[in-house]
Structure 1
Amino acid sequence: MNTQRGNSAQASIGELALRLVAADTDGWTPEGVKAAGAEMGWVWKEGAHGPVLVTGRAAGDARPRPVGEYEKRYVHGESYVEIAVPLATPAPDAAAQAAAFRAAKDEVTAVLGDPSVMGSHGDMGPFYDSEPDWGAPFLRWRGRANTLELRAGKAGPELVLQPTDPAENWFWRQGVGEEHSISGFFGSNRDEANIGLGFPGGWTARSWETVTRSLGDFLGALPAEATALGVRFAMPFYGRNSRSAPLLFEVVCGDRLSIGCFVPDDVDAAALGWGTVAEHPRTAAVFADDDPKWRVDAGGPGEPKGRALAEMLVATARAAGVSEPTDLIVGGEACYVDGYSLTFYGLGLPTG
């Protein structure tokens, strides 16, 4: 047992991922979860806030999550819904957290291949969990019985072994159409592992205040989440008026967030807060010097002022003749990112 614990404590993130995928939880029974921990060389211990598996790893002990009040509606005989293993404890700032997540992603991908699911939990994770302020990216290697998830934990990235059905059942049943009923974004690729994967219905923003909140949350976290996931977003937004639906904004985000504005000439963009390439020189690497004329460089991980950016975009859209939230449309091109088909549930905006 001590030898196993030593090996587990020293295992790389990639090795840990392989061992978790191979673990047998016997249907997530109490005995099965304890036995799976023992096979990893971990010691079961009852803690003040529930059971822990003492791993000997520097980032901390693993946490089996028993079925409780918020989980019981979504299980079918499982007694536990996950084993979460901390991987690192970086500094709390967004840049450090995103970098640690990306490093873990690279190690897991090297041994398991590309994840079948990619996304962000937004401000509400499975079973109504709150999420870190800097962002909530996640990746999943989906299996028929069990799924391995890399997620942003409260203190740093975590590898989470979970039964596939409960978390997906929870997600599916959030599609009730109420504002903010689903947050974040969710994407899947063409991996055969995704056969049978269900997608809930979304919700529609009914007021400009709702759009401001949802767009602010999204933009504020986007550079950190894009950096963590290792992807680049290119998102056109169209504004439907009484005559047509022209391009209004282009949101581009890799390790920095840049937003271009194609506002009509009769709108005072400068008064609304937009600048030119002279004021935002970093945008020259994203947009041509004068196309669009108006733009903003919102910064890297942790730097965007999400609420202020959203207020500027909403004010600009309304000044350009967009009268209702349902007339601000996310271009369909935005939904294809690095081989994944994405749904931006948390925005509450139509896609077209």
Structure 2
Amino acid sequence: MNGQRGSTETESVADLARRLVAADTGGWTPDGVSALVAGLGWSWSGAAQDPVLTGRPSGDARLRPVADFEERYVDGESYVELAVPLATAAPDAAAQATAFHAAKVELTAALGKPSIMGSHGDMGPFYDSGQIWGAPFLRWRGSPDTLELRAGKTGPELVLQPTGPAENWFWRQGIGEEHAISGYFGSNRDAANAGLGFPGGWTARSWETVTRSLGDFLDALPAETTALGISIGMPFYGRTDDGAPILFDVTCGDRLAIGCFAPDDVDPAALGWGTVAEHPDTASIFSDDDPVWRVDGGGPGEPKGRALAEMLVATAKAVGVRNPTDLIVGGEAEYVDGYHVTYYGLGLKTG
């Protein structure tokens, strides 16, 4: 299918993706982008601020020209992405996550498993703000262009972008300052990831920083894991005078549950933890009696991230974890559905 203007026939997400992957972007120059739009059967005035008229019921596409934020990351490109809305969903987290996941299923059937997955957190490419409900993304990395499924303002978007600028931006965020990078980034062994660069991380320097970063992570986690179709198992260890025992087990698929393994001299109930009787929905995630102490964080849009993070930090302190650098994410959490994941936004050590 080519022409969309004036057509009452809706092109499938899979067919659109195939056409975008096969398109010649011409180096993302003005002439190249004009030819790209025409080749897709769409229309555009040529003015950077004007929409690309697609005729799709989900809305028109947008071109992002190189501006001040993008200038230092490009190498001759005049544009850094073409974003095409795929669907409009209700604004709540559950509806947005469901719409994103539906697009993921269709795209994976058409293009194969994405080579990259993760969350942009609160800072997407070129400093864009993420969505309130979550900022999941999937990428089919290529050269010279990459296709990304992204959480847009009203629903999932398919974004065609030159590979170099977005990756150059991401790599340069590893400057060591607190909150320099948010979200998490996972890549698999797909040959498409050859030469992929990874930024350095940052380290939380205060418990308030840990509370903020952990709260942001937990707040969106079930919506993002639902959207991406993954499950995350994340143990936390605490270095104390008695070693580095496991303190928490954060588990999240379509629902967030957190288990606590506090020693006998700590009162978890006083810190806000409950049992399976108080959190019956955790019975499908943990056994009835292990761990004894747990909390049900809820499904998409339901977690109270800040309150959960405050409880985890208070528990870590009560156990005897003195510094943020002594709260450690277990290395098991780095392996998710065939992807190696780095949790940049937490600012915590992994080991």
Instruction: Give the TM-score category using the shorter length.
Output: over 0.9
Q: Is the 8 A contact 1:86 1:159 kept in 2?
A: yes
**Structure 2 partner of 1:119:** 118
Q: CA deviation at 1:289?
A: 1.3
Q: Give SS of 1:323's match.
A: coil
Listed one character per residue, the Cα deviations across residues 9-30 of structure 1 (whole Å, up to 9, x for unaligned) are 6110000000000111110011
1:24-39 pair list within 5 angstroms: 24-39=24-39
State the Cα distance separating 1:4 from its structure 2 match.
4.7
In 2: Cα distance, 1:88 partner to 1:40 partner: 19
In the alignment, the residues of structure 2 paired with residue 45 and residue 313 of structure 1 have an alpha-carbon distance, to the nearest angstrom, of 53
Q: Is the 8 A contact 1:45 1:54 kept in 2?
A: no
Q: How many Å apart are 1:34 and its aligned residue? A: 1.2
Residues 135, 224 of structure 1: 8 Å contact kept: yes
- Distance in 2 between residues matched to 1:167 and 1:40, nearest whole Å: 23
Q: Distance in 1 between matches of 2:50 and 2:76?
A: 19
| Correspondence list, 1:72-151, <5 A | 72-151=71-150
The one-letter code matched in structure 2 to 1:118 is: M
Change (3 A) 1:333 1:7: farther
Paired residue secondary structure (1:83): strand
Q: Is the 8 A contact 1:8 1:41 kept in 2?
A: no
- Structure 2 segments unaligned to the other structure (5+ residues): none
1:43 maps onto 2:43 in alignment: yes
| Residue matched to 1:299 | 298
- Worse overlay, 208-217 or 289-298: 289-298
Give identity over the alignment, percent: 75
Label 1:73 to 1:3 Cα distance change in 2 as closer, same or farther (>3 A): closer
**CA offsets 1:60-85 (integer angstroms, 9 cap, x no match):** 10001100010000000000000000
| Residues 286, 350 of structure 1: alpha-carbon distance in 2 compared, 3 angstrom cutoff | same
| Aligned match of 1:218 | 217
What residue number does 2:179 align with? 180
Tell me the alpha carbon deviations over residues 127-163 of structure 1, each in whole angstroms, 9 at most, x when there is no partner. 0001100000000000020000000011110000000
- Structure-2 change in CA distance of 1:39 and 1:8 (3 Å): farther
Specify the alignment match of 1:335 in structure 2: 334
1:51 match: secondary structure: coil
With over 3 angstroms needed to count, the CA separation of the structure-2 counterparts of 1:60 and 1:162, relative to structure 1, is same
Q: Name stretches of at least 5 consecutive residues in structure 1 with no aligned partner.
A: none
**Corresponding residue SS for 2:89:** coil
Q: Would you say how many aligned residue pairs link Structure 1 and Structure 2?
A: 351
Cα distance in 2 for partners of 1:2, 1:254 equals 38
1:14 aligns with 14
Residue-by-residue CA offset, 1:98-152 (whole Å, 9 max, x unaligned): 0000000011111100000000000000100011000000000000200000000
* Counterpart-to-counterpart distance in 1, 2:4 and 2:104: 25
Partner Cα separation in structure 2 for residue 325 and residue 2 of structure 1: 55
C-alpha distance in 2 between matches for 1:249 and 1:289 = 16
Q: 1:6 to 1:339 in 2, by over 3 A?
A: farther
**What do the CA deviations read for 1:18-53 (whole angstroms, capped 9, x no partner)?**
000011111001111111111111110367x81321
- The one-letter amino acid paired with 2:100 is F
Q: CA deviation at 1:243?
A: 2.2
Matched, 1:320 2:323: no
| Maintained 8 Å contact 2:3/2:40 | no
For residues 9 and 327 of structure 2, the distance between their equivalents in structure 1, rounded to whole angstroms, comes to 51
Instruction: Give yes or no for contact 1:205–1:325 (8 Å, CA) kept in 2.
Output: yes
Whether the aligned pair in 2 keeps the contact of 1:118 and 1:140 (CA below 8 Å) is yes
Q: Distance in 1 between matches of 2:183 and 2:326?
A: 21
With the length of structure 1 as denominator, give the TM-score of the two structures: 0.98
Q: Give the residue type in structure 2 aligned to 1:28.
A: W
- TM-score, with normalisation over the residues of structure 2? 0.98
CA distance in 2, matches of 1:34, 1:51: 13
Is contact 1:121–1:131 with CA below 8 Å preserved after alignment? yes
- State the 1:257 CA deviation: 0.1
Q: Confirm whether residue 269 of structure 1 aligns to residue 268 of structure 2.
A: yes
**Root mean square deviation, CA, Å:** 1.4
* Residue 7 to residue 301, structure 1, CA distance change in 2 (3 Å): same
Alignment correspondent of 2:161: 162
Q: Distance in 2 between matches of 1:23 and 1:138?
A: 21
Describe the SS at the equivalent of 2:72: helix
- Matching of residues 221-236 of structure 1 within 5 Å: 221-236=220-235
